[in-house]
A and B are shown apart, each in its own frame.
Chain A
């Protein structure tokens, strides 16, 4: 055992000697904030089809953004693949992304890419109210309806979840700090039930522990895929008509300005937006495809039908302020 272990470490040390600055012929380095379990298979499809070797470093999206900002122009990364638009906006602000060619940007609706064309969304997730039809007869039309006393103690949410915090960020961006605080204070007064994560909210709704939950659309489809449609009572309700409750947040990708391998990097971005890449997200993660021409999973309403709120997704980077507001209103911590 010691032998194997020492060899592993030594191999790691030795590898450093061989590498030099000829990065353009080396593997393409990807920093991925999307988890290995979700995207590794897609990356290996890319390598198989193009012959371009990938070196993928997985970590938290935000930590990778901080890492890129610390590394600056010396970063070994060619591509940054993020779970959230906010982190992409921060890397863009630091001047680290290169402009994407128009044959990439034209694939994606302008709502779902950076205003300076330095990153594009690769897939989207809609905020929904998942509800238990045995307990709920009228669903809320807007997020303000949730403040009605009829929902007291009946709404589940996941306070530490990044998508919930993105929703609150959108609330702040659209309505301003004061009105956002008012909404959160009223929401808190209605005694929502906090869960560890979105899937726990979904399960609580499904068994009727709470009547409704604020989560992302795909959690329901994950459960249906795992347990069959018969086992799942809960249904998704979509907020439409531009209500903030129907925010569509995205995962997205950008190419680093410092990359010496931009052609291959752009090729990877194009692959993620190809029919093959987009169908992968639609079928495997049940997310919304972002490139025109690829259909969403199953019976999902189209993005046009959803009519999500108009918001510059780069503005979702002020999550730190959101956390402060959530802490202040007593919704984040104990």
Chain B
């Protein structure tokens, strides 16, 4: 599958720059961690408590990732294969929970059912926030994959569920593992949900080192554990993916398979979908509306709400365009020029994704205050930090789309004398456009809800929806939180609609 053509330098150079940028937080962590000496690092890490917390983080990671894979596949199947319609509404409804920040979702749950706090609450909230990371690429993969394989298997007497398990899932495997990696990294880095649920995991001590220990170097030492975990996960994912990448994916024939659907199956599917939406997006939205209505004598300052929407939207658009541009060379290399170099370049963008937002923010502070002083506490550095945080999301969704688009057109282009770059620009990138759009949309969604980096790096006085929510929830003014939270969820409909449009384009092509 890998191309015999050497990767063009015009692709390798920007990918290399992106990888180096992604490693800024890593560079900062090592700089800072070792200021107090190697012995201090060993001493800090070799504590029983550190080990216990790592185990708790891993437990949460494994359970949330497993549940997200199951739910994500179910949701993707409902969208791409079940007779439930309309598709647009289904994708929007299933994706909305991704737009809700984990701290807000967790607080919504815990203020409704206080007893849910602890492991179970953290598990529930993170699963609902994360399953779209699996669902979105799997929908794309199901849309693009060759439906004939399923038909053939059915005609050979395999039962529908068996076909689904072996053929459909087999074809979606790279999409599933890619999504699962994103979920795992997200869970490792999350603090919002576990803090509100009072479930102590490893990010607690990292945040504690900043908020309660006022000790950035201790935080850096502890963060290196998450880097190691991210490295291992990334390697596992690369291994799993590469053993299965020899599948021949079809060129996107319009789906013809319609599995026989009994009444029971239909009711079960509808019930599952309704439950998923009610718990994932329904509970937080209901709580937010409840808070807003609870204290009806507070006047909503609509001008402030609209200004925050504009700021969040602006930062989100710029971040998503830059993220998509930075991710594209890496995704292209990874999908089309497989080899050690491209794997290392891709892997280095993932590693920082297991770091909590505050660690990335502090590392950009460290870089910015020393070398980019005129840009310090200005938009470009905030956007740089966000790009670094969301780069893996963009790379993953682009790579899946590119890897699944047919290569035969590229071979034709080359045989007609087009150079590597020409082929990329005229053939590969247009084919991968749905993936590129999806990557931008995903970055936009994440940017709008991003808080820790925004708080520390924003130009003074800049208020986004996320900072407004933070500001009012800090003083427990949930009635004032309401309009901003609702605006954030509504704003998410824009990127979700883009995602939807592009996945449809995937079939129509």
Contact = CB atoms under 8 A, between A and B. Distances in A.
A and B: bona fide binding partners: yes
Interface of A: 1-2, 4-9, 12-13, 15-17, 19-20, 29, 35-38, 55-63, 65-67, 69-72, 74-76, 86-87, 90-91, 159-160, 165, 194, 196-197, 199, 317, 319-320, 322-324, 327, 332-334
Interface in B449-489: 455-456, 459-462, 471-472, 474-477
Contact of B460 (A9, A29, A69): A29
Contact of A334 (B117, B214, B310, B362): B117
B365 A71 contact: yes
A2 B114 CA distance: 41
B366 interface: yes
Nearest to A16: B378
Contacts of B204: 323, 333
A69 B216 contact: yes
A62 B212 contact: yes
Interface residues of B, number: 58
Q: Which of A1, A15, A197, A199 has the most CB of B within 10 A?
A: A1
Nearest to B461: A55
Given A55-B461, A67-B365, A71-B369, A320 B310 contact: no
Interface of B: 49, 110-111, 114, 117-119, 195, 197-200, 204, 208-216, 218-219, 309-311, 313-315, 317-318, 358, 362, 365-366, 369-370, 373-380, 455-456, 459-462, 471-472, 474-477
5 contacts: A16-B379, A35-B474, A66-B362, A319-B208, A319-B212
Ranked nearest first, the 3 interchain pairs of A and B with the lowest CB-CB distance are: A5-B314, A334-B118, A62-B211
A16 B204 CA distance: 35
A334 B123 CA distance: 13
Given A62-B214, A66-B362, A12 B378 contact: yes
Contacts of A12: 378-379, 459, 462
A320 B213 contact: yes
Contacts of A67: 362, 365, 456
Given A56-B460, A66-B219, A323 B208 contact: yes
A168 B470 CA distance: 26
B204 to A, nearest CB: 8
B473 to A, nearest CB: 10
A16 B311 contact: no
B373 A323 contact: no
A331 B311 CA distance: 40
B380 A13 contact: yes
B213 A319 contact: yes
A100 B123 CA distance: 49
Q: Which of A15, A71, A87 has the most CB of B within 10 A?
A: A71
Contact of B456 (A5, A15, A59): A59
B455 A59 contact: yes
Contacts of B219: 66
B362 A70 contact: yes
B376 A76 contact: yes
Nearest to B380: A13
Contact of B195 (A72, A86, A160): A160
Given A35-B474, A60-B211, A63-B211, 10 more contacts: A5-B314, A6-B314, A13-B380, A58-B471, A62-B212, A63-B210, A63-B456, A70-B366, A199-B476, A320-B218
B193 to A, nearest CB: 13
A292 B362 CA distance: 39
A18 to B, nearest CB: 10
Nearest to B201: A333
Contact of A57 (B49, B213, B370, B460): B460
Contacts of B215: 66, 69, 90, 320
A70 B365 contact: yes
A15 B378 contact: yes
Contacts of B199: 333-334
B380 A2 contact: no
A196 B114 contact: yes
A29 B459 CA distance: 12
